[in-house]
Amino acid sequence: MHLYGKNSVHERLKADPGSIRQVYLQDNFNAPHITDLIKAAKIPVKVVSENDLMRIKRADRLQGIVAEVYKYHYTPLEDMLGGPGDKRPSLLFLDNLNDPHNLGSIIRIAACFGGLGLVIPEHSSVEVNETVIHVASGGENFVPVAQVTNLSAALLKAKKAGYWAVGTAVEDGEDLNRVSLPFPLALVLGSEGKGVRYGIEKHLDMKVTLPMKGAQLSFNVAMACAIFCHEIAKQRGE
């Protein structure tokens, strides 16, 4: 896999330099706070032209740096569920999420609030790819992501471990501004078009709705996630 852009590579250098196999720098690259970390970690560097850098990774806004890294490592769901009660993360179950930009934004949001983990299915979902990591801007270093065969079965496993299953709904759910969220929390976010599927919905302990008094529009899933994560952090007392 390739990381690109100053923020993504800088955060990886700070968090997990051992995952970086090689760094490619454009011949006019000038960012001492990054090159000093590369040297300290003794990571091989190759200086290339702008055209050669584009051949290595064709994307917008490379910002003069591309890092070759090992494939993304998912966290087993059991590892998230098995920690001490007060240290277990709140979990975001992402149902039918197919846009890598949304997943990257959600990872970045979860990293900013902290104390959160993500669960995504292997099928009918985007995986953590290069675009996701670029949009996450380093957030992938701070948020565990589990990839599971079956999202419904994973939710049931979380419930057996003591988690409360709460789903988001466009309407007919408890008002997010008034509800007391149960912890440990497994929050299910559905896709914009389909919402939470029935096979998952039937396992929910509660539904919550984000009330909107303005135009009859809707937030995309990443925007909605940010608001829900803010409420989760507030109610956890963080």
Looking at domain 2-69, its CATH architecture is 2-Layer Sandwich (3.30)
Evaluate if pTM is beyond 0.75: yes
What backbone phi and psi angles, to 5 degrees, belong to 11?
Answer: -65, -40
What's the pLDDT score for residue 215? Answer: 64
Task: Check if the beta carbon of residue 136 is closer than 8 Å to that of residue 15.
Answer: no
Residue 119 in tokens? 């669960």
What's the pLDDT score for residue 4? Answer: 95
Residue-wise pLDDT for 201-230, tens only, equals 999 999 999 887 766 557 889 999 999 999
DSSP 63-128: TTEEEEEPPP-PPPHHHHHTS-GGGSPEEEEE-S---HHHHHHHHHHHHHH-SEEEEEESSSS--S
Query: CATH: 2.30.130.10, 1.10.10.10, 3.10.20.30, 3.40.1280.10. Which one for 77-235?
Result: 3.40.1280.10
Bridge partners of 24, per DSSP, are: 46, 66
Domain ranges of the chain: 2-69, 77-235
Residue-wise pLDDT for 161-203, tens only, equals 999 999 998 778 899 999 999 999 999 998 766 678 888 999 9
Q: What is the pLDDT along the chain (238 residues), one digit of tens a residue?
A: 999 999 999 999 999 999 999 999 999 999 999 999 999 999 999 999 999 999 999 988 899 999 999 999 999 999 999 877 677 999 999 998 999 999 999 999 999 999 999 999 998 889 999 999 999 999 999 999 999 999 999 999 999 999 999 999 877 889 999 999 999 999 999 876 667 888 899 999 999 998 877 665 578 899 999 999 999 999 988 5
Over pLDDT 90: what percentage of the chain? 81
What's the pLDDT score for residue 238? Answer: 56
What's the pLDDT score for residue 96? Answer: 86
